[in-house]
Structure 1
């Protein structure tokens, strides 16, 4: 039986060529992301089906929870690459970086080691969901003084900023870039996060996007995003990821 109704285009059918995802937890057994090399491969194959060809692995580095060292992460990254080669999977170019919690130990890391960057001197940072550090602006200053450029992961998820939207503008003014989680375009994290996400996009405050994928449930939910106005709203930011990946 023929139908005149066309299926809606979903978000995952709209990734532009050469899109690079900046935020993922697919490196196995290092944080709350993939639990095995096999799970990593399942996730990567699903991303491949979306047309993703470039992916940055950003495991957590967090004091007292995931105190991952560069050496440990680099070794696990080497092991993942070896596993993928054995499985003859080479469709996605992977890069190792990290998602740094701006906690009491971060200043020490900043002073004592070379940080794992998204690209060039860009680093991905995050805040506690409970509250921003009291020295947030001092930390952002130290990051830039050390020669790095901070990209704040999922700013829309920090509820303590929701009623003080001017704080987002203030963060941008001091040189902090913003990475929106694509799942925030649904109600996955709640309606408040969804509302703030659209507000940030409409205010032109978002620089990049990321899937922040931890497990297959995230991708299953991501595939349900098919609101045409949402898909249209996010297109320019998806393009930013492409341009960022191509810049020298």
Structure 2
């Protein structure tokens, strides 16, 4: 329950039965959990935040993380095998992927061979250096192939920080926006925090995720304090995330 009459409002108070649509808890296949032990520890601590449904989203990134259905499936089954029956009954675990918008992604898209969050929602990201030159045509192609693009952490793309109007253009093109919880602090920098606030105030954010890679991220989320206005906006985004992606 939210402590509206206390001086501090903690983000974790909003997370009971949360569906986390963006995290890196599968073992050994990207820059998240290094092994099964790490995965189990992350799940335990995330459950402590109130998270009950997990959609792991390992990176698929040409030249860095060449993950496939097979590598993701193997990591998923290895993790399932390490969970005891009690743990398996208390959570749901349904893997997907976080796709870099690169040439490899376009090849997978052409063959409609994407690992979605749920139904036709596909989580995508861009380089932090610059957007693809053909970004708008890629978004159009994603849509024409029958997918719904969910842009991961739009607030973190610094090349849009001085061109905030372009976020509305991306929404008009059919992008859904997924906010990172830690962007509500200065974890990624003050400009990211400011942009996250702008996107929330403009009601441009559709979903929220943890983007957890390690225990430090969980500790920071656990201690993250938000003001009343932010908590009210975020509560609606969390509800929408849960409605859209829950499998229970």
TM-score range, shorter chain: over 0.9
Task: Name the counterpart of 1:182.
Answer: 181
Residue aligned with 2:225, SS: coil
Q: Kindly provide the CA deviation profile for residues 193-222 of structure 1, in whole angstroms up to 9, marking residues without a partner as x.
A: 000001000000000000000000101111
Task: Name the counterpart of 2:53.
Answer: 54
Q: Kindly provide the CA deviation profile for residues 34-86 of structure 1, in whole angstroms up to 9, marking residues without a partner as x.
A: 01111111111111112211110000000000010111111111111111137
Q: How far 1:16 moved relative to its partner?
A: 4.3
Q: Distance in 2 between matches of 1:49 and 1:217?
A: 14
Query: For residues 106-145 of structure 1, what are the structure 2 equivalents within 5 Å?
Result: 106-112=105-111, 114-145=113-144
Instruction: Give 4+ residue runs of structure 1 displaced > 3 Å after superposition.
Output: none
1:112–1:124 Cα change, 3 Å: same
Task: Name the counterpart of 1:214.
Answer: 213
Q: Distance in 1 between matches of 2:74 and 2:84?
A: 15
Q: Kindly provide the CA deviation profile for residues 4-38 of structure 1, in whole angstroms up to 9, marking residues without a partner as x.
A: x9573411122144x21110000010000001111
Task: Name the counterpart of 2:21.
Answer: 22
Task: Name the counterpart of 1:164.
Answer: 163
Task: Name the counterpart of 1:73.
Answer: 72
Check whether the contact 1:16–1:242 (CA below 8 A) recurs between aligned residues.
no
Residue aligned with 2:151, SS: strand
Which has the higher mean CA deviation after the structures are superposed, 171-180 or 46-55? 46-55
Q: How far 1:233 moved relative to its partner?
A: 3.0
Q: Distance in 1 between matches of 2:168 and 2:152?
A: 15
Task: Name the counterpart of 1:13.
Answer: 13
Q: How far 1:242 moved relative to its partner?
A: 1.6
Residue aligned with 2:15, SS: coil
Task: Name the counterpart of 1:245.
Answer: 245
Check whether the contact 2:112–2:145 (CA below 8 A) recurs between aligned residues.
no
Residue aligned with 1:12, SS: helix
Q: Distance in 2 between matches of 1:223 and 1:144?
A: 36
Check whether the contact 1:125–1:152 (CA below 8 A) recurs between aligned residues.
yes
What is the TM-score when the length of structure 1 is the normalising length?
0.93
Alignment of 1:95 with 2:114, yes or no, is: no
1:111–1:85 Cα change, 3 Å: farther
Q: Distance in 1 between matches of 2:76 and 2:130?
A: 32
Q: Distance in 1 between matches of 2:119 and 2:58?
A: 18
Q: How far 1:112 moved relative to its partner?
A: 3.1
Q: Count how many residue pairs are aligned between Structure 1 and Structure 2.
A: 242
Q: Distance in 2 between matches of 1:7 and 1:50?
A: 20
Task: Name the counterpart of 2:222.
Answer: 223
Q: Distance in 2 between matches of 1:188 and 1:102?
A: 24
Check whether the contact 2:53–2:91 (CA below 8 A) recurs between aligned residues.
yes
Residue aligned with 2:122, SS: strand
Ranges in structure 1 where 5+ consecutive residues have no aligned partner: none
Which has the higher mean CA deviation after the structures are superposed, 38-47 or 127-136? 38-47
What is the TM-score when the length of structure 2 is the normalising length?
0.93
Q: Kindly provide the CA deviation profile for residues 91-130 of structure 1, in whole angstroms up to 9, marking residues without a partner as x.
A: 2201110000001221111123521000001000000000
